[in-house]
């Protein structure tokens, strides 16, 4: 378990919890690029852990720390037990999802729909806090459907602070639970950074991070200069991991050594070998690595070799080596042109 000061330092940059993307293999890859950023699991539902016994969802590699478990649910007692299980499994933080707009979470009465029930969310946070020693945090939207965010969000944050939430991450968009798909909810509702900035000023004693639409480290640094405690990046960190995570440690934490793309790939090879030895398939790991060379010479060949070959039953680390070898000439040619 990370010390709280270390965890807060790590949260200057975090990678958003993303369903079907930020599994353990993804997080190990992201950790190969950044030693400092805070990583999050996919959302894990409290009923799956408490009633379903799905403890396999808590498995993670020791290298992933600092790493937070995001929970979904709306029953305070069940969330408290799930939080205990997560803390017992070694997670550094337990986060409550109050932002996901998918049909599955709406039908289960958790996720963004809970923005309509701030008292219930506060009860959940208080119960989780009483159950664990690690920080309990909340990731939310600025509102849902026809709510007025300028009225809803201050009240919601005040309740989270009173309930003892250690940190709130605000996705600066509304969620439309009727009429928009989960994918559309990531792009269609307009971003309202100014409202979240107002909340930063209104709640100076609350740790507050901003999320939504952040595309570059320049934007991350700008938000940090404005006084936000952290910035959470989602799809940009997944699709262009080197641009965000590979450069983050040097720029945000002053680390002397930044890994090269090749070093990150080679750092993954022992994990890949262990994954295969345990019965896994290569594509379960390499699908998260396809964007590593985004914007670089040879990126298309890298993606093609891994996409075409990694699903074969006999695919192994040699395919990753072959993909890396295919990128090297293009990288060398560009360096020669620069020289």
Q: Distance between alpha carbon 311 and the CA centroid of its chain, in Å?
A: 25
Q: Distance between alpha carbon 56 and the CA centroid of its chain, in Å?
A: 19
**Among all chains, which residue has been given the structure tokens 């009465």?**
109
Would residue 63 show up in a list of annotated catalytic residues for this protein?
no
> CA 280, CA 287: separation in Å to the nearest integer?
13
Compute CA distances 219 → 63, 212, 213, 223, 252, whole Å: 27, 11, 10, 6, 12
The token pair that represents 259 in the structure block: 């890994």
User: Computed from CA positions of residues 203, 3, 97, 85, in that sequence, does the dihedral angle turn out positive or negative?
Assistant: negative
Q: Which of 26, 100, 124, 140 is catalytic?
A: 100
Backbone phi, psi, residue 70, to 5°: -100, 130
- Positions annotated as catalytic residues are 100
């Amino acid at each position: 378990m990370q010390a709280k000061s270390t965890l807060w330092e790590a949260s200057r940059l975090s990678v958003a919890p993303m369903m079907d993307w930020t599994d353990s293999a993804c997080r190990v890859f992201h950790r190969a690029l950044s030693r400092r950023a805070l990583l999050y699991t996919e959302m894990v539902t409290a009923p799956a852990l408490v009633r379903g016994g799905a403890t396999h969802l808590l498995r993670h590699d020791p290298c992933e720390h600092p790493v937070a478990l995001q929970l979904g649910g709306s029953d305070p007692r069940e969330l408290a037990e799930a939080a205990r299980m997560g803390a017992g499994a070694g997670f550094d933080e337990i986060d409550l999802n109050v932002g996901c707009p998918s049909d599955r979470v709406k039908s289960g009465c958790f996720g963004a729909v809970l923005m309509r029930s701030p008292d219930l969310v506060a009860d959940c946070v208080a119960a989780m806090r009483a159950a664990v020693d690690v920080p309990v945090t909340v990731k939310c939207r600025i509102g849902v459907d026809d709510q007025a965010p300028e009225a809803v969000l201050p009240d919601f944050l005040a309740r989270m602070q009173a309930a003892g939430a250690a940190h709130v991450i605000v996705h600066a968009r509304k969620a439309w639970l009727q009429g928009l798909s989960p994918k559309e909810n990531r792009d269609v509702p307009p971003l309202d950074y100014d409202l979240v900035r107002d909340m930063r000023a209104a709640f100076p004693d609350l740790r507050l991070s901003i999320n939504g639409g952040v595309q570059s480290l320049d934007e991350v640094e700008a938000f940090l200069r404005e006084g936000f405690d952290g910035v959470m990046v989602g799809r940009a960190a997944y699709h262009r991991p080197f641009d965000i995570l590979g450069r983050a440690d040097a720029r945000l934490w002053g680390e002397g050594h930044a890994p090269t793309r090749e070093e990150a790939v080679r750092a993954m090879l022992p994990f890949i070998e262990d994954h295969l030895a345990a019965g896994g398939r290569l594509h379960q790991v390499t699908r998260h690595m396809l964007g590593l060379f985004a914007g670089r010479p040879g990126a298309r060949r890298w993606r093609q070799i891994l996409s075409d070959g990694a699903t074969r039953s006999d695919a192994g680390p040699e395919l990753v080596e072959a993909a890396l070898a295919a990128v090297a000439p293009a990288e060398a040619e560009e360096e020669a042109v620069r020289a």
